[in-house]
A and B are shown apart, each in its own frame.
Chain A
């Protein structure tokens, strides 16, 4: 078996992974990034909106500062965030945006003079200052007090990822694409790298590294309906969980977006509703005012998602070959508005759904969108439990977002956290020596080879990997979706345990030779079910509603008992994650209070 040595092994080559890699390579160390796909196809590329940073150049961002960004972020997190991390993040974000400009990102720039902008479907005029002409511009996003989101037209993720990958290439960072880590090499105390499967040939390789970074993105694809790229299956997280010593934080914190399209779950912007679009049921009846008389469709993301599910549960959903959904109606906004102000929505409808939103309704349903949970790290990015293991970006629970992430903070986190964690890794590598044991490598490789061999030969059974995955989808959809309750979650945990058992008996229907997708999924599948169990079990135990986690049977946010973070670990041979808890933040700059939106009662912390 081929063995590759490097200082830093990065599992994932999206924005967080490459930003770390650049920092470490820039300090003179060797770096290898693994990527399931060519690095530029990473899910980071799909982010359209932009990155929050308090530059305050735009007139609507006048008076902005890291302090205001901090308040928005901690409120948005429903006080689940680590405030020390949030503080570091907001201070570093403006510098990182400028650095990206230096590296080549074509950020939109301020043009002095009076311009017409849009807010809530209405135009208004504002005058940009002459002294800010040519500086980085920003746009509005939900939940922020100022216009703070730096953007590059409609493709911020694309522009930043391409620039980042250029920079990585310039510094000699090696990317091994079509490569998937299947387990971490470790001795229970120190991480030594990973066993990796080549997705071209199916061969296993060992990567020995002094430091290993998990930057593999979210786990959205444990759900059937997700806006995530289809590679976001949480494999990096399950590698960490499978060590038995690393821990995952707040896995029950999963964000849903009200308007994922059906069938392929591509997001259509909140702007549709902001501009006056309405939600209709199977009778083409507008139901939102019945639930939310004041705000109707303009209630917050989580509230609208909840109401949609509630309404579908009354039998008013539209049946389709792709499951139940509702309608988004923007027809009344007119041709001029749809073809210009909502051009992106128009294109998604025409290109992917084959419908014309001028004359037809858009099929939508609440859809998994973002994973707040991830590999629990300290503020330096070091994973709990294993020396030499780090995590950054959506795969990490660093923890910037707590129980709800603000728009524009995820893309910014990848780059800002990548920079901070990268510098910490470079510092860690200075003068750090470790010994690689060939026995550990051999054990890990032999174990993985044997497991793969048993899947291919069907030695453990003939369960279909696709059937197992469908069963997991069904359970999560009922038990751990937008709404959760004790009864469904209790059932969900038990049902997932059965699915986990089935996942041990997967056998292939194909030969598994070469770039075989059935085998790749079969290797991942038990780990995905374990992640689903972390979500479901964590949600069952958390008897409160906070951010995106909504318990029908516990509607209050309970700061008295639950101002904390769930930590999940998986002990060898267990059929359920072991949960423990730590305070949400040890540093308190902003004491828990009302978010100012979303409503809900709060049980205050005992003083």
Chain B
């Protein structure tokens, strides 16, 4: 039987001085294969054109449409209404600056993250157009790709206890970025170099181990594994620094 869905949606327009944060309620009849992408667009086009939310690829690859769906951060594009109760509560992701209603500014946060982690290959090698490419083992290429799959949706950041408490925390998305470059033989940075980026409470040692990041990652990235791996590696780096025979 067709359900009537009730949507409780957070509303606030920071550009409008008269706007007060509140929740609005909407109703919509459910259709086959309905996703939150379809539902939110119908609400905006049929009921309330002032509704603000972000979508881009609507296919789970760009990360635009992350929001808190019935208490849990997730991508709205591949959330099917039939997997939710008839009452659906939508909130913007915490941590990020609010653009309006369900839209948040992830771009600024992630740009700062990749400047901070220097998210590019550090190499002294020059590119030679006439030369054959440097060889790489396919297994290594696949391993890098597996860590490179983060879509910067911000779900892990929003679900992170530390990131919610301290704005300077690099958060899981930052750590997996560092792990991606640490795994890449083309990047000449040493463990000591990476320690400079993540060896602090704003970095890897600030994690409280609540494990929510990996639970909510829509790409199922091994966020906790990589964090554990980096922590051990950074621990060893400190040890080496302290010991007289260390490097």
A residues in contact (CB < 8 Å) with B: 37-41, 43, 45-46, 95, 97-99, 101-104, 106-111, 133-137, 152-153, 155, 158-159, 162, 165-167, 169-170, 175, 177-178, 200-202, 229-231, 262-264, 266, 320-322, 348, 351-355, 363, 466, 508-511, 513-518
Selected interface stretch from B48-56, B195-203, B207-215, B227-235: B48-56
28 of the cross-chain contacts (CB-CB < 8 Å) are A37-B56, A37-B62, A40-B151, A41-B63, A46-B59, A98-B127, A102-B127, A102-B134, A106-B144, A107-B141, A108-B141, A110-B138, A133-B135, A135-B132, A137-B138, A152-B145, A155-B61, A155-B145, A166-B119, A169-B115, A230-B55, A264-B37, A266-B58, A321-B32, A322-B31, A348-B59, A514-B13, A517-B44
Q: How many contacting A-B pairs (Cβ < 8 A)?
A: 201
B170 within 8 A of A: no
Residue of chain A at shortest CB distance from B50: A510
B106 within 8 A of A: yes
B190 within 8 A of A: no
Instruction: Please state if A95 and B55 are interface contacts (CB–CB under 8 Å).
Output: no
Contacts known (A37-B56, A109-B138, A153-B142); A263 close to B33, Cβ less than 8 A = yes
B26 within 8 A of A: no
**Among B56, B100, B110, B121, which residue has its beta carbon within 8 angstroms of that of A514?**
B100
Q: How far is the CA of A213 from the CA of B119 in the complex (A)?
A: 26
Instruction: Please state if A466 and B45 are interface contacts (CB–CB under 8 Å).
Output: yes
**Among B45, B63, B120, B134, which residue has its beta carbon within 8 angstroms of that of A167?**
B120
Instruction: Please state if A352 and B60 are interface contacts (CB–CB under 8 Å).
Output: yes
B164 within 8 A of A: no
Residues of chain B with a CB closer than 8 A to A98's CB: 127, 129, 131-133
Residue of chain A at shortest CB distance from B59: A266
Q: Which B residues between 164 and 218 are near A, CB-CB below 8 angstroms?
A: 184, 186-187
Residue of chain B at shortest CB distance from A37: B56
Instruction: Please state if B125 and A102 are interface contacts (CB–CB under 8 Å).
Output: yes
Residues of chain B with a CB closer than 8 A to A229's CB: 56-58, 62
* Binding site secondary structure of chain A: loop
Instruction: Please state if A513 and B38 are interface contacts (CB–CB under 8 Å).
Output: no
Min Cβ gap A521→B in Å is 9
B10 within 8 A of A: no
Instruction: Please state if A515 and B100 are interface contacts (CB–CB under 8 Å).
Output: yes
**Among A38, A95, A103, which residue has its beta carbon within 8 angstroms of that of B110?**
A38
Instruction: Please state if B151 and A158 are interface contacts (CB–CB under 8 Å).
Output: yes
Q: How far is the CA of A466 from the CA of B48 in the complex (A)?
A: 12
Instruction: Please state if A45 and B141 are interface contacts (CB–CB under 8 Å).
Output: no
Min Cβ gap B128→A in Å is 9
Residues of chain A with a CB closer than 8 A to B63's CB: 40-41
Instruction: Please state if A40 and B110 are interface contacts (CB–CB under 8 Å).
Output: yes
Residue of chain A at shortest CB distance from B118: A170
Residues of chain B with a CB closer than 8 A to A518's CB: 44, 49-50
Q: How far is the CA of A41 from the CA of B119 in the complex (A)?
A: 17
Q: How far is the CA of A216 from the CA of B59 in the complex (A)?
A: 20
State the 8 A-B residue pairs at the shortest beta-carbon distance, nearest first: A134-B135, A514-B15, A38-B107, A510-B50, A518-B49, A166-B120, A106-B144, A109-B138
**Among B31, B132, B149, which residue has its beta carbon within 8 angstroms of that of A155?**
B149
**Among B57, B121, B149, which residue has its beta carbon within 8 angstroms of that of A104?**
B121
Instruction: Please state if B138 and A99 are interface contacts (CB–CB under 8 Å).
Output: no
Instruction: Please state if A104 and B184 are interface contacts (CB–CB under 8 Å).
Output: yes
Residues of chain A with a CB closer than 8 A to B58's CB: 229-230, 264, 266
Instruction: Please state if B61 and A106 are interface contacts (CB–CB under 8 Å).
Output: no
Instruction: Please state if B133 and A135 are interface contacts (CB–CB under 8 Å).
Output: yes
Instruction: Please state if B32 and A43 are interface contacts (CB–CB under 8 Å).
Output: no
Residues of chain A with a CB closer than 8 A to B151's CB: 40, 45, 158
Residues of chain A with a CB closer than 8 A to B105's CB: 178, 200
Residues of chain B with a CB closer than 8 A to A509's CB: 49
Residue of chain B at shortest CB distance from A36: B56
Residues of chain A with a CB closer than 8 A to B50's CB: 510-511, 516, 518
B124 within 8 A of A: no
Instruction: Please state if B37 and A158 are interface contacts (CB–CB under 8 Å).
Output: no
Residues of chain B with a CB closer than 8 A to A162's CB: 148
Q: How far is the CA of A40 from the CA of B153 in the complex (A)?
A: 10
B136 within 8 A of A: yes
B28 within 8 A of A: no
B6 within 8 A of A: no
Q: How far is the CA of A135 from the CA of B141 in the complex (A)?
A: 11
B residues in contact (CB < 8 Å) with A: 13-16, 31-33, 35, 37-38, 44-45, 48-52, 54-64, 77-78, 80, 82-83, 99-100, 103, 105-107, 110-111, 114-115, 118-121, 125, 127, 129, 131-138, 141-142, 144-145, 148-149, 151-152, 184, 186-187
Residues of chain B with a CB closer than 8 A to A46's CB: 57, 59, 61-62
Q: How far is the CA of A202 from the CA of B111 in the complex (A)?
A: 22
Q: How far is the CA of A40 from the CA of B48 in the complex (A)?
A: 29
Instruction: Please state if A134 and B136 are interface contacts (CB–CB under 8 Å).
Output: yes
Residues of chain B with a CB closer than 8 A to A511's CB: 16, 50
Interface centre among A97, A202, A230, A353 (most CB of B within 10 A): A230
Contacts known (A106-B141, A159-B145); A508 close to B49, Cβ less than 8 A = yes
Instruction: Please state if B49 and A510 are interface contacts (CB–CB under 8 Å).
Output: yes
Q: How far is the CA of A116 from the CA of B141 in the complex (A)?
A: 20
**Among A41, A95, A264, which residue has its beta carbon within 8 angstroms of that of B62?**
A41
Min Cβ gap B39→A in Å is 11
Contacts known (A155-B149, A514-B13); A41 close to B35, Cβ less than 8 A = no
Min Cβ gap B174→A in Å is 14
Residues of chain A with a CB closer than 8 A to B137's CB: 109, 134
Residue of chain B at shortest CB distance from A99: B127
Min Cβ gap A263→B in Å is 6
Q: How far is the CA of A100 from the CA of B111 in the complex (A)?
A: 21
Contacts known (A152-B145, A169-B114, A201-B15); A95 close to B129, Cβ less than 8 A = yes
Residue of chain A at shortest CB distance from B103: A515
Q: How far is the CA of A40 from the CA of B58 in the complex (A)?
A: 14
Instruction: Please state if A45 and B57 are interface contacts (CB–CB under 8 Å).
Output: yes
Min Cβ gap A266→B in Å is 5
Instruction: Please state if B62 and A45 are interface contacts (CB–CB under 8 Å).
Output: yes
17 further A-B contacts with Cβ under 8 Å, apart from A178-B105, A516-B52, are A45-B61, A98-B127, A102-B125, A108-B141, A134-B136, A155-B145, A159-B145, A169-B120, A178-B99, A201-B15, A320-B32, A351-B60, A353-B33, A508-B49, A513-B13, A515-B13, A515-B99
Q: How far is the CA of A502 from the CA of B25 in the complex (A)?
A: 32
Q: How far is the CA of A582 from the CA of B64 in the complex (A)?
A: 41
Instruction: Please state if A514 and B135 are interface contacts (CB–CB under 8 Å).
Output: no
Q: How far is the CA of A103 from the CA of B134 in the complex (A)?
A: 12
Instruction: Please state if A264 and B35 are interface contacts (CB–CB under 8 Å).
Output: yes
Q: How far is the CA of A38 from the CA of B109 in the complex (A)?
A: 10
Q: How far is the CA of A515 from the CA of B107 in the complex (A)?
A: 15
Min Cβ gap B176→A in Å is 12
Min Cβ gap B6→A in Å is 19
Instruction: Please state if B15 and A202 are interface contacts (CB–CB under 8 Å).
Output: yes
Q: How far is the CA of A264 from the CA of B44 in the complex (A)?
A: 17
Residue of chain A at shortest CB distance from B82: A354
Residue of chain B at shortest CB distance from A466: B45
Min Cβ gap B228→A in Å is 23
Q: How far is the CA of A145 from the CA of B191 in the complex (A)?
A: 46
Instruction: Please state if A109 and B135 are interface contacts (CB–CB under 8 Å).
Output: yes
Residues of chain B with a CB closer than 8 A to A135's CB: 132-133, 135
